[in-house]
Amino acid sequence: MRHPCLSGMALAGIFACGQLAFAQPMIIAPTQATQQTSTTGMVGLTANQTARLNVLNLNRVSTAMPALANCTVGLQFFDGKNNMVKGAVVSNLAPQTATSFDLKRADVTSATSTRAEIRGVVVINPTPAAAGTAAATGFCTVMTTLEIIDDLTGGTVVLTSDTRVVGSLLAMPLTAGKAR
């Protein structure tokens, strides 16, 4: 036969532990950085237009949580034949900040007509060879938009935020090391 006080004490202990669990948020730091590539669909680019690839780091800014590791993104434009036209790497993209990367129609030399079909590609944690340095990898989630801007008026003619993940995810250790 159980003693009623022991049952009550056990319940009080469970309740107290439960309160502590709710009072202290659990912080789970990612153990691996992930290389992820996403692409927009194809859009047309003509004379007097600029394509702008925008990326926003969606990581939260919080003093209660430890800072997440470096967010490095590769920004690229490809033509309709999957040739990279232009690319850049942005290191240390801070949480809740954005960056953009532009492509003028004149930069697309592979197009034979006045209209060039292009798409934007974003690579989270690009390989060190693509980055040109042994940049530290980290964990970040980004939101991507691609817009076509009329150079004469400065107005946005086309805007899309529809992206698709390309291929599969590649796990990478979070520690920064020398390029191999």
The number of domains in the chain is 1
Residue 173 lies in a domain: no
- Please state which of the ranges 36-45, 60-69, 80-89 shows the lowest mean pLDDT: 60-69
Residue 179 lies in a domain: no
Residue (of 17, 31, 45) closest to 109 by Cα position:
45
Contact 118, 77 (CB under 8 A): yes
Q: How confident is the model at residue 14 (pLDDT cuts 50, 70, 90)?
A: very low
Contact 99, 144 (CB under 8 A): no
Instruction: Give the residue-averaged pLDDT of 57-63.
Output: 83
CA distances in angstroms from 66 to 30, 32, 69, 152, 165, listed in the order given: 11, 16, 9, 45, 28
Q: Is the pLDDT of residue 105 over 80?
A: yes
Residue 7 lies in a domain: no
> What does pTM read for this prediction?
0.70
How far apart are the C-alpha atoms of 144 and 162, rounded to whole Å?
Answer: 8
Residue 101 lies in a domain: yes
Residue (of 142, 143, 144, 146) closest to 160 by Cα position:
146
Residue 46 lies in a domain: yes
Residue 80 lies in a domain: yes
* Structural domain that includes position 68: 36-166
| Placement of tokens 């997440």 in the chain | 68
Helix, strand, coil tally for the chain in percent (to 5): 15, 40, 45
Residue 105 lies in a domain: yes
How far apart are the C-alpha atoms of 53 and 5, rounded to whole Å?
Answer: 66
Residue type, 47: A
Residue 54 lies in a domain: yes
